[in-house]
Structure 1
């Protein structure tokens, strides 16, 4: 049985009345509390934008079981629910039902949350996005019988819990696989100094500076900076397998590149002596080094060629390097697959949840709805 037919059966022919939010709930704006008066050790959360607390305060101005809606700012229209006492700031609407014998406050939350995109879409434009109190007051909400409201809440609470559990499980799975990969990479790339020859990085690779790209034409050659690909141009600086090592900025962002590229002056590329060391082996080993410990920058993180050239690099036989690379490639592929696939899986579950929420909260509107 579909959710729609289930709801039709639950309503059993009862007509659903639509009312303005102000008819069924009180809508108040909070009071400003200065940051200096807030304390992270205080008991009550302070809400403004609605997504998360902006601080904590020793007093509260709402007793909980309320819906909060961000009044202004980038998140204006964002809907949340608070069960415990809290302090509402002056950018936060608090919505509390007037008669709990007729209106289930969690039902109102779910309906407003389902209509969140509409609220956000109706932001008053100008200097700072905002949702006015008048917009909140005239917002229309269907009022089915209380038992129907309770059943909708039960179903959506279950969906919410299951979605949260699945998200936590998938996130934990990804974290575990990443930790497992890091562990095996560390084990495979830890050598006995008496059995493996170590060389200075500068003895096995030649570090090369990047150049400005702004005078180059558009094309399909990626331009790398310390943050990754910046744009695409029509020529390349180097076209052999290499490891890119940031010079400034995000100095832990190491890249392995096999195809032609251009690099700017915030990231080095390396000419690798492939008779001594495989590019991919060099890449995997560099990923095990804590480059932040080599930072020479007083403000922005920086790495110099002299410091990089002095790093000790193990140089086992090429056959052994190939074996290690083969194993780590498999781990890397698995981790990459999980990294890309799990967020997509979480997104699909969230879409499924929102689909059923929309289905449960879709009531026929009367032909004419009066507005204030």
Structure 2
């Protein structure tokens, strides 16, 4: 559908539209399923294939579920942005912790229509609390929602589904990319689990379970700030760049510092793992990149580097697994700023097969990583365009007067 014809179609679709406003507390349209949700400490979760949802995304995979069906998840607290409030789409069996409200549309309201509409809601007036804003159940139920053609359910649902069809077309590409990433994560977790390692050609006694502290040492970075960057000089990695710029490994730094300044800083060597030890959310704490460049590089504070005896990519991939994330969560401290100290990092366990097996696993994961990265890097412009189109048409189709 071309843009001009789409505009005319939308004009016709919304012509003489009748809207009735109700709230998320209206049980005729909304089922609230919060009573089934349950928080489980990471140390008590049993690993499985069922997604465990938190305020912003899937935090883990477990062997049981709290809900089965298609639901919309709205952050109760801990959303990464109050302006772009966390709304998630969950289908099938899943576990919801107590940081998300679980609801779904019933009868005269389409669930996907509700999902898209909640993305344009201004949640700020309904939030309470300070740094960790909270959307209580009482406030959630006050949020207004529109019902098109309330006196004609068939006509209402037909319109809602046409709107959903238009909006979903702009999100298909991101959904496909997300599916590829989850498939890659699944295989990465499997390949690096002790169960799978021991079921292969290796005997269990050839796989050692060791702590990171037994295999190497952690060194904190120095007082390096963004203002210290120079066009040329000694390569450096600032902890913030680990979140935004680097993947599993790199042999080129994004930035440099002067040679004079670099003399004062602690430096990582070839094969070291560079770890961001601080973040505003649990998922990003301990995000890591293996340094495979020839020269030593400077590392900022709020990061550390790990000198070890493992294949560099093997340990970098392990830092991305559920097994690592589960152990890491036990050591996270802080409220607004979340962090893990190097003494606790040293306590985390890792399965260590022989070097040849480490390299075989890395070779497999490199292929997956290259495929996923090439898809991700080849599509950003297209995804950005579709996201802008989505936001435009979402606002165009769902900004009803109230």
TM-score normalised by length of structure 1: 0.52
Change (3 A) 1:223 1:123: farther
Which residue matches 2:38?
A: 32
Which residue matches 1:153?
A: 164
Which residue matches 1:353?
A: 390
1:7 Cα shift?
2.7
Q: Does 1:253 align with 2:297?
A: no
1:236 Cα shift?
7.4
Change (3 A) 1:21 1:5: farther
Following the alignment from structure 1 to structure 2, what is the Cα–Cα distance between the partners of residues 340 and 143? Answer: 40
Change (3 A) 1:247 1:159: closer
Following the alignment from structure 2 to structure 1, what is the Cα–Cα distance between the partners of residues 14 and 262? Answer: 69
Which residue matches 1:71?
A: 76
1:56 Cα shift?
2.1
Following the alignment from structure 2 to structure 1, what is the Cα–Cα distance between the partners of residues 65 and 228? Answer: 59
4+ residue runs over 6 A deviation: 166-169, 290-293, 336-341
Following the alignment from structure 1 to structure 2, what is the Cα–Cα distance between the partners of residues 83 and 338? Answer: 25
Change (3 A) 1:106 1:339: closer
Which residue matches 2:20?
A: 17
The DSSP-based 3-state class of the residue aligned with 1:128 is coil
The DSSP-based 3-state class of the residue aligned with 1:143 is strand
Following the alignment from structure 1 to structure 2, what is the Cα–Cα distance between the partners of residues 264 and 59? Answer: 45
1:64 Cα shift?
1.7
Which residue matches 2:350?
A: none
The 10-residue stretch of structure 1 (145-154 or 29-38) with the greater mean CA deviation from structure 2? 29-38
Offset from partner CA, 1:94-149 (integer Å, 9 cap, x none):
1122x42x11111111111343xx33786434253322223321212222222110
The RMSD of aligned alpha carbons is 4.6
The DSSP-based 3-state class of the residue aligned with 1:45 is strand
1:67 Cα shift?
0.9
Following the alignment from structure 1 to structure 2, what is the Cα–Cα distance between the partners of residues 51 and 167? Answer: 12
1:85 Cα shift?
3.6
- How many residue pairs are counted as aligned between the two chains? 249
1:218–1:234 Cα contact (<8 Å) kept: no
Offset from partner CA, 1:289-317 (integer Å, 9 cap, x none):
x7679xxxx969xxxxxxxxxxxxxxxxx
Following the alignment from structure 1 to structure 2, what is the Cα–Cα distance between the partners of residues 68 and 337? Answer: 31
Q: Does 1:96 align with 2:104?
A: yes
1:96–1:105 Cα contact (<8 Å) kept: yes
Task: Select which of 51, 56, 67 maps to 1:45.
Answer: 51
Q: Which runs of 5+ in 2 are unaligned?
A: 149-155, 181-221, 239-252, 275-288, 301-310, 315-344, 348-372
1:263 Cα shift?
6.0
1:4–1:360 Cα contact (<8 Å) kept: no
Change (3 A) 1:5 1:142: farther
Change (3 A) 1:291 1:133: closer
Change (3 A) 1:158 1:143: same
Q: Does 1:138 align with 2:149?
A: no
Offset from partner CA, 1:206-231 (integer Å, 9 cap, x none):
xxxxxx898xx968455533664667
TM-score normalised by length of structure 2: 0.48
Following the alignment from structure 2 to structure 1, what is the Cα–Cα distance between the partners of residues 259 and 7? Answer: 56
Change (3 A) 1:149 1:119: same
Following the alignment from structure 1 to structure 2, what is the Cα–Cα distance between the partners of residues 79 and 143? Answer: 20
Which residue matches 1:80?
A: 88
